[in-house]
Chain A
Amino acid sequence: EAQVTQNPRYLITVTGKKLTVTCSQNMNHEYMSWYRQDPGLGLRQIYYSMNVEVTDKGDVPEGYKVSRKEKRNFPLILESPSPNQTSLYFCASSSPRQTGTIYFGEGSWLTVV
């Protein structure tokens, strides 16, 4: 079954404590991406990756890092989380990038206190 798996699904953390949200896909997709969704602001792209070792900024990259060492994994790293990063996060993948079906994960609810 085609899947994008995110972990953790729910997390409450404290300001400044580094955390990583993992994302894994089982479809051998080249393209992967991270989004955050906030009320009234919709889905906004944080980072994307065209392929292994190729990453680039989306519209809201500040405060986040990513890496793409393997094709299937695209972790999102919050080095020093702040309360304004409290949000619902989605990982997605597709192939081919622009015309293929984009699959989204189930989301990760992150609260920073």
Chain B
Amino acid sequence: SQKIEQNSEALNIQEGKTATLTCNYTNYSPAYLQWYRQDPGRGPVFLLLIRENEKEKRKERLKVTFDTTLKQSLFHITASQPADSATYLCALWSGSSNTGKLIFGQGTTLQVKP
């Protein structure tokens, strides 16, 4: 079955630096891959969706890449701020193109220090 792996260790960086988070998946490449932000005790908030035919997607200080050969997506936050501190989750639809199964990685916690 499809699985997602995210680095379970927290990522600590200094304010102003670029944070890079990794999402690796097994088996087949999904048509879409998504990234979410989750704050403690709150529901995940959708950030970006990238399609399999897109190498890169940007939104303000966020950038996502999608490498179907490596079966990997990278999530970058440039000029990071303490307010970016949160857990970041990647997710993909598992199964056929008509699937309703959405699976999540366990998330990577980012801590941005002033």
Contacts and interface: CB of A to CB of B under 8 A. Distances in A.
Interface string A81-113: 000000010101000011101111111000000
B44 A48 contact: no
Interface string B81-107: 000000001010100010011111111
Interface footprint category on A: 20 to 34
Interface stretch (A11-19, A39-47, A70-78): A39-47
Contacts of A41: 106
Nearest to B102: A45
A33 B101 CA distance: 9
Nearest to B93: A98
A4 B97 CA distance: 25
Interface in A1-47: 4, 31, 33, 35, 40-45
Contacts of A101: 46
A67 to B, nearest CB: 16
Interface of A: 4, 31, 33, 35, 40-45, 48-50, 56, 58-59, 88, 90, 92, 97-99, 101-107
Given A44-B104, A107-B43, 13 more contacts: A41-B106, A42-B106, A42-B107, A43-B91, A56-B100, A59-B103, A99-B32, A99-B49, A102-B34, A103-B46, A104-B43, A105-B43, A106-B43
23 contacts: A31-B100, A35-B104, A40-B106, A42-B105, A42-B106, A43-B91, A45-B101, A48-B101, A49-B100, A59-B101, A59-B103, A88-B41, A90-B43, A90-B44, A97-B100, A98-B93, A98-B97, A102-B34, A102-B102, A103-B46, A104-B43, A105-B43, A107-B43
